[in-house]
Amino acid sequence: MKWCGLVLIWLLAGCIAPLSERKPYGTVILYGVPSAGGTVAGGGSYPAQTTIQISASPNSGWAFNQWNDGVQDAVRLIRVPNPNSSVTYTATFVQITPSPINIVVGWTAEPTAVSYRVYLGPSSRNYTNWTGATGTQATLVVQPQSANYIAATSVAASGQESTNYSNEVYYHAP
């Protein structure tokens, strides 16, 4: 009977890993800044000193910039920290600023006009700026995804400007 007990203890000892071989966990903490810029994935608790993948995904209208340690790859491998330790990675996102759009507008010549003014504004007859022109076309700069009301007026040799804006048009920039 004593021999059987020794065999059982020997078998159990072989099935239980010694403390030195157990893998305690480390923690990976992830943030995205600003939070509206995108999402991060891969944070959590993992066996210490293992390699895991973390990632940053920008939302529409945003781009991934870099991690707080300067790495510019949105998807990357990292090493989990030592047992009972944590490491923090912060993904930085930047908002994409669309480039202005140039549009060319044209109109019919007025017989008495010596120049023209082309008005641009965010709502009907609410013009915020104008561009002068001596011919019958002008280039305007508009912002993407913007509403634009455009009207051309003629200026006579006397300096008198026609201001009825009857030729006003609406243009929504893509």
Which one has a higher pLDDT value, 172 or 75?
A: 75
Q: Is residue 35 scored above 90 in pLDDT? A: yes
Nearest of 171, 132, 173, 169 to residue 151 by alpha carbon: 169
**165 and 146 within one domain:** yes
Which one has a higher pLDDT value, 157 or 18?
A: 157
**161 and 145 within one domain:** yes
Q: Is residue 34 scored above 90 in pLDDT? A: yes
Total domain count for the chain? 2
The confidence score (pLDDT) of residue 59 equals 95
C-alpha distances (whole Å) from 148 to each of 32, 81, 122, 126 are: 35, 55, 5, 10
Is pTM beyond 0.85? Reply is no
Measure the CA–CA gap between 98 and 46, rounded to whole angstroms: 40
The confidence score (pLDDT) of residue 21 equals 56
List Cβ neighbours of 86 (8 Å cut-off, separation of 6 or more): 26, 27, 28, 29
**Contact 64/74 with Cβ under 8 angstroms?**
yes
Q: Is residue 108 part of a domain?
A: yes
CATH number reported for the structural domain that contains residue 153 in this entry: 2.60.40.10
The amino acid sitting at 69 is: D
* CA angle (54 as vertex; 50, 55 as ends), nearest 5: 165
**83 and 106 within one domain:** no
Q: In percent, how much of the chain has pLDDT > 70?
A: 87
**What does the mean pLDDT of the chain come to?**
85
Residue pLDDT, tens place only, 119-129: 888 888 888 88
Cβ neighbours of 4 (radius 10 Å): 8
The confidence score (pLDDT) of residue 172 equals 85
Nearest of 127, 108, 109, 110 to residue 118 by alpha carbon: 127
The amino acid sitting at 46 is: Y
Q: Which residues constitute the domain of residue 110?
A: 101-172
Q: Is residue 10 part of a domain?
A: no
Nearest of 96, 89, 98, 95 to residue 56 by alpha carbon: 89
The confidence score (pLDDT) of residue 16 equals 55
The confidence score (pLDDT) of residue 84 equals 93
Q: Is residue 141 part of a domain?
A: yes
